[in-house]
Structures are given as C-alpha cells and as structure tokens.
C-alpha cells in the first residue's frame, strides 16, 4: 500500500529570536513556523494527520518527506521580467487589467480603449503593483471561449503601451497564439488558468520563449466549472494535480524555477472548497514554486456577506489577501491595488517591528 506524506507549515511565530532549532523560515520570506501538520494519504484518502514540532521532523521524515521540507523552506528565486526584477522575500501584488466586455467585476471598462487601459495599468503600477496582468477573454463561470484573433486584438495594443512605459506585464490567456502575440508585444509572463492544458501548443510556446508561467488549478471549463464540482479531499487533490502539471512542464523543458502555481479559487470549486483551500494555502509551499492567490472580489465574498455584488467586496478581498500573506503567499492577484498595497504595508510594518532584535 502506497502512503504519501504531505507537510503543511503551521504554528506561525512573530519572530525566530530565542527559538533556535524550534522554528524554520517559510520559503525565504517573512514568516517563521514552529510546527507542521503531517498528513498521511493512502489511495487519495487521509489516513492520519498529526502536529509535529519542527525540532522533531528529522527523526520522523523519510527521504521524500525531507525533500518536501527542503522545498518548503527554500527561498524562491526572484522573477526577472524583462528589465524588472520581482523579489519574493515578501508578498507582491499582481494587478488585474481586463480588456473584456464581460468579466465578472470590471467587464467593459476598457473595451476598445487601449490608451485608457494602458493608462489604468500604469496607474496601478504607480500605486505599487509589481506586475500588470492583462486579459482579453473572460473566464468567469459560464463564459464562452472567444476567437483568438479577437483576444489578440484586445490585448496586444495595451501590452505594447505598457511595455514601452517600463511596466512588467503578464498575459492572462489559455491560447498559444495569444501567448505568442503578447510575448512579442512585450509581455514577460504567461498566466494560464488551464495550466497549459487548453491548447496543446501552449506548452511549447512557454518552453521555447523561456518566460515564466503561472499554472492554475481548475476543474472543467469556464462554461461548466461551477456545475456541481466535486472532490474527495480538495486540498490534497489540488496539490496532486498541480504537482502533475509541474512535472509535465518540466518534461517539456520549462524549469521549475520559472513556474508559479495558483490553487484556482472559484475555478471548479464550491464555496466550501475555496474556503478549505484558503485555510490550507501553506501546504502548497511543498511544491517549491511561488504561490499566486487570486481571490479578489470573488463569489465567496458575496456569499459570506449577504450576496454583496462585486463592487462591494473590497473588505473581503483585502481580508483574503492578508490571509494569503500570513501563510507566505508570494503574489496576490487583485483588482484594488492601492488598498491592497496599503494593507500589505501595514502588515509589513508589523512584521518589521517583530523582526527587529531587542538588546
């Protein structure tokens, strides 16, 4: 019987001082943890889970477990996007810039206005966003795929303007032709909600270009993904699926240090599934890649707040961003840049004070 071991960092502490041998640093960031939840899984089902102090791990873990722990604590290398370098020793913001007529929150805001869209992107960068994520096709629940030519026509002029302004740009697409056009226009990162499964040519585009890529978990397609999604253990199943996609990308020639992973909040998940993923985010550090969290203005916020529309989900969006930051998430994909950046500055101030040694 094959037993797999999973490690979820927990028991977070304010600072490591005075805890020699009792705490470990999470992914080279600003978080230290004093324990792990060790989860044993057989045939896809949890058979046991226990909390272990980090000081006891060496005596308990086998070679595979030690390899997972090594990935959990290893610093994530900086992301180099053209002339820009994005460091992951603290959480960064990826701003959402949709040039679509039908995105769930901001659809239609910038359609047919590449100048205005680019100006909005530059403003978000000035407000503190490290990356501007440009999308030309809605992947909201129920959205239908569009022709790649229309998608290119929407994103290409915006990306060209942003790149000329010196902004780090990513392209949010599932299609190889759109990836190719966007990278040619100046985008430096591919953010694919299908994790390079929608278009069989996409993997080759990413591998040949050498660009970084975000691999996001999903179940189904935007048209079908919210029609009764089911999991046995959502945290473990999403982890395993992402591990498989990382392996596939490595086999195709994409280095692991050029990959980021996203658990896909709301993409083929019920509210309960998404909340379980948010509570267990630190598990995904075991994959050894920077974590992207996209929970901004999503349906779960409205569901928890009397069906608040997307325009009234700022508080919930910031709360979920900080939930990610406190579990070591490296990249927060958001609509409300200035507010999220301010929240992170306050969070960082708290961390800095705690990490200042006292004589």
Q: Which domains does the chain have, with CATH numbers?
A: 3-73 (no CATH), 79-351 (3.20.20.20)
3-state secondary structure (DSSP) of residue 247: helix
pLDDT (tens digit per residue) in 314-325: 999 999 999 999
3-state secondary structure (DSSP) of residue 90: coil
Positions marked active-site: 298, 333
**How many whole angstroms separate alpha carbon 154 and alpha carbon 113?**
9
Kindly report the pTM of this predicted structure: 0.95
Calculate the CA 187 to chain-centre distance. Answer: 18
| Nearest Cα to Cα of residue 81 among 197, 162, 202 | 162
pLDDT (tens digit per residue) in 142-196: 667 778 899 999 999 999 999 999 999 999 999 999 999 999 999 999 999 999 9
The Cα-based distances of 93 to 85, 168, 300, 357 in angstroms read: 13, 12, 21, 28
Total H helices, total E strands in the chain: 11, 14
pLDDT at 358 over 90: no
**How many whole angstroms separate alpha carbon 195 and alpha carbon 203?**
9
pLDDT at 88 over 60: yes
């Amino acid at each position: 019987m094959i037993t797999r071991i999973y490690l979820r960092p927990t028991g977070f502490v304010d600072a490591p001082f005075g805890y020699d041998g009792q705490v470990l640093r999470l992914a080279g960031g600003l978080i230290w943890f004093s324990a792990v939840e060790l989860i044993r899984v057989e045939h896809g089902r949890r058979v046991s889970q226990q909390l272990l102090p980090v000081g006891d791990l060496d005596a308990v873990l086998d070679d595979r477990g030690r390899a997972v722990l090594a990935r959990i604590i290893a610093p994530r290398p900086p992301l180099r996007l053209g002339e820009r370098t994005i460091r992951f020793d603290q959480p960064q913001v990826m701003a959402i810039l949709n040039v679509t007529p039908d995105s769930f929150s901001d659809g239609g805001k910038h359609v047919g206005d590449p100048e205005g869209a680019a100006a909005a992107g530059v403003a978000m960068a000035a407000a503190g966003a490290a990356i501007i994520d440009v999308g030309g096709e809605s992947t909201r629940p129920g959205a239908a795929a569009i022709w790649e030519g229309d998608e290119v026509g929407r994103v290409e002029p915006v990306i060209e303007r942003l790149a000329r302004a010196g902004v780090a740009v990513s392209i949010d697409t599932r299609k190889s032709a759109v990836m190719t056009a966007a990278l040619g226009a100046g985008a430096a990162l591919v953010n694919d909600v299908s994790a390079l499964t929608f278009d069989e040519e996409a993997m080759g585009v990413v591998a040949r270009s050498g660009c970084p890529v975000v691999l996001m978990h999903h179940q189904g397609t935007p048209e079908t993904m919210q029609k009764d999604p089911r999991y046995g253990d959502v945290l473990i199943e999403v982890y395993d699926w992402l591990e498989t996609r990382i392996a596939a990308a490595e086999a195709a020639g994409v280095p692991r240090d050029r990959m980021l992973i996203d658990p896909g909040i709301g993409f083929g998940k019920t509210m309960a599934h998404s909340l379980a993923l948010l509570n267990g985010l630190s598990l995904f550090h075991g994959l050894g890649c920077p974590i992207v969290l996209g929970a901004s203005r999503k349906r779960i916020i409205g569901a928890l707040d009397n069906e608040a529309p997307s325009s009234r989900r700022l508080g919930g969006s910031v709360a979920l961003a900080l939930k990610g930051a406190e579990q070591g998430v490296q990249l927060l994909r958001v609509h409300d840049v200035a507010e999220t950046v301010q929240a992170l500055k306050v969070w960082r101030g708290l961390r800095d004070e705690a990490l200042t040694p006292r004589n």
